[in-house]
Amino acid sequence: MFQRILTPILLSFSLAACGTSTNSDGGGGSSGIAATDLAAATIDAFCTKLISCPGAFDGMSIATMDGCKGILGSELDMSGISKGIAAGTVAYDPAKASACLSAMTTTCDFLGNNAQPQACKEAIAGLVETGKACTTSNECKSGTCDKKGDCPGTCKAFIAAGGDCSMGGICAEGLHCISEKCTATGWGGKDGACSNTQDCDATAYCLFAAGGGKCTARAAAGENCGGSATCVAGYQCGKGSTCVALGKVGDACEGLKTCGDGLLCAMAADGKSASCIAAVAPGGACTSTSKCRALDNWCTGTEGAKTCQALPGKGAACATGNDQMHPFTCNPPSVCDGTTCGDRLPKDAACVDVGGLFNPCATGLKCTKSKCTPLPAEGEACTGTCATGLTCDFTAGKCIKAVCQ
């Protein structure tokens, strides 16, 4: 649900190191955004637009600035840019940063488009040459920072068309790593090479076969399909593997993207079946949170007079739940302990994993099997993040001390 929203936000400045910015003081003034204000300004711009984009979260909406900032803000870290400016390894153009955000949020189209406007590419420019030491990719003049764990890395050039990207190298702009080679994507038309459906335009999906993926026209009503992403807009892959219209009010449904515009797939009271319902707007009467249209709403009030309202904040009363469409029970970063919204949960506390978007547990802990548990220590098995000072050796599958060469 969230990755489609977060990707364009995180990409807006992430590959701008190959730009041509010349202002390195990070100042803002009336003509732009100061580097120290960039993260806040980015969240403000995207959240303002998201509130006006109906169905932004796969049919659900977001209603309040506080809710949007709480849900998305925890994922955005631009501290590396400010540190690079202070160290003289990054040049920043406040005016182009402002133009970038304006271009990214002019319409709701950014929700399904990973393309960077030109202003975003020019807002930040790395000053470190290829082969020199770096700490983030934003510092590299042309390429990415090749590093392991918390150790300093080296600026490595982007891989050109046809180059080998099997070892995790980053392809040059306009290319994706497809079948271990940097290849031009199929964006803009069918029959182009692709590694996922986002490489194709809205009329196509990525079909994998011998020789790699190819952007293929989406199936129309009644035609065979291999998943809802393979059908044209307004249709889903139904029983019998043919494209059928999205559900109407009262139709049975099976989760996200199976109901028509303005509808939600809501579980019945017995928890055994689900059907398409008319989503309840903020302030509207409701009987359960699953009927609220906004992701940052919950159904609250006295019995028989409940309405969809903004999520409670720190110190307010709350109720835990297990609604996959409304995973937040407090406005992040607050977490519900069962009765009250408060700080992130301590070790061994019961928790709900919100799809990897927000960690409800305190620093050094993660939500594993519905309980806050410590991050793996040295020598323990790992698949990702380890305790502070350690890195995951994916070859051995264990946490080890980060040894900088």
Q: What angle do CA 34, 37, 39 make, to 5 degrees?
A: 125
User: Residue 126 falls within a domain, yes or no?
Assistant: yes
The structure tokens listed for 309 are 């309202």
Cβ-based neighbours of 154, under 8 Å, separated by 6 or more: 131, 132, 133, 134, 145, 146, 147
Residue that terminates a domain, selected from 84, 109, 144: 144
**Cβ–Cβ < 8 Å for 284, 307:** yes
Residue closest to 25 by CA, chosen among 81, 85, 82, 84: 85
User: Residue 288 falls within a domain, yes or no?
Assistant: no
Query: Could you give the CA distance from residue 158 to residue 199 in angstroms, rounded to a whole number?
Result: 19
- 């506390």: which residue's tokens? 349
User: Residue 195 falls within a domain, yes or no?
Assistant: no
Q: What angle do CA 334, 338, 344 make, to 5 degrees?
A: 30
Residue that terminates a domain, selected from 123, 144, 165: 144
Give first-to-last CA distance, the chain, whole Å.
40
User: Residue 54 falls within a domain, yes or no?
Assistant: yes
User: Residue 261 falls within a domain, yes or no?
Assistant: no
User: Residue 321 falls within a domain, yes or no?
Assistant: no
Distance from chain centroid for Cα 126: 24
Q: What is the largest CA-CA distance in the chain?
A: 67
User: Residue 234 falls within a domain, yes or no?
Assistant: no
Find the helix packing angle between 38-51 and 94-104, rounded to 10°: 20
Q: Which three-class secondary structure state does DSSP give residue 169?
A: coil
Find the helix packing angle between 65-73 and 3-14, rounded to 10°: 70
Task: Give me the pLDDT at residue 29, please.
Answer: 47
Query: To which H or E segment does residue 100 belong?
Result: helix 94-104
- Range(s) of the domain holding residue 387: 375-405
Find the helix packing angle between 3-14 and 38-51, rounded to 10°: 140
CA atoms within 13 A on the CB side of 305: 2
User: Residue 74 falls within a domain, yes or no?
Assistant: yes
For residue 371, the cross-strand partners are 350, 368
Task: Give me the pLDDT at residue 323, please.
Answer: 60
Sign (positive or negative) of CA dihedral 32, 119, 99, 186: negative
Provide the number of structural domains found in the chain: 2
Task: Give me the pLDDT at residue 228, please.
Answer: 73
pTM > 0.75: no
Residue that terminates a domain, selected from 126, 144, 162: 144
Render each residue's pLDDT in the chain as its tens digit; 405 residues. Answer: 455 555 556 556 654 444 555 555 555 544 789 888 888 898 898 888 888 887 666 667 889 999 888 887 766 777 778 888 889 999 999 999 999 889 888 877 666 555 677 888 888 889 999 999 998 888 998 888 888 766 788 999 999 988 988 776 788 877 877 777 888 766 555 677 777 777 777 788 888 877 677 888 999 999 999 887 899 988 988 888 999 999 999 998 876 678 887 788 877 777 778 888 888 989 999 988 888 888 899 999 999 999 999 999 999 998 876 565 677 889 988 988 889 999 999 999 988 776 666 788 998 998 888 899 999 999 999 888 889 888 888 788 899 887 775
Residue closest to 296 by CA, chosen among 280, 309, 278, 315: 309
